[in-house]
Amino acid sequence: YAKKDSESITYLLSGNRYSSEKYVSAFNIVPSKILEVGTPRNDELASSKEQVFDLKKKQINVLFAPTFLNNIEDNGITQLEWLGVDNLREFFKKQQQELNLMTKFHPNVHSKLATDSKSIE
């Protein structure tokens, strides 16, 4: 996937030299394609003095952002099955707490989930 991803890169934004060095090896691209100008989304988050979250304080908010696995079949729904979402819900229900489970998958996994009928369940 890294090779496929790297073919679509015109330029890659980096926040610092350390990240740039990692990007060169991770994405198999030449250093001239990396612009060390910061990362806009992170810069905006870091510069904001007040952060507004639309999360209920009485909820238990869990972000599940698993690492991409080389075997595509082990990603997405399989990772959610490993997590045991039903068990988590039941646990928090017994604690009389509401669970708000959010997920963030790798873009390659996300696009597969969008067309996978099992993920719609």
Residue 35: partners with Cβ closer than 8 Å, 6 or more residues away: 11, 12, 13, 14
Check if the beta carbon of residue 43 is closer than 8 Å to that of residue 66: no
State the virtual CA torsion across 85, 87, 89, 92 in degrees, nearest 10.
-140
Locate tokens 């990240």: which residue? 19
Sorted by where each begins, the domain ranges of the chain are: 2-47, 59-120
pTM to 2 decimal places: 0.42
pLDDT tens by residue, 31-74: 998 988 877 666 665 665 555 555 566 677 777 777 766 666 66
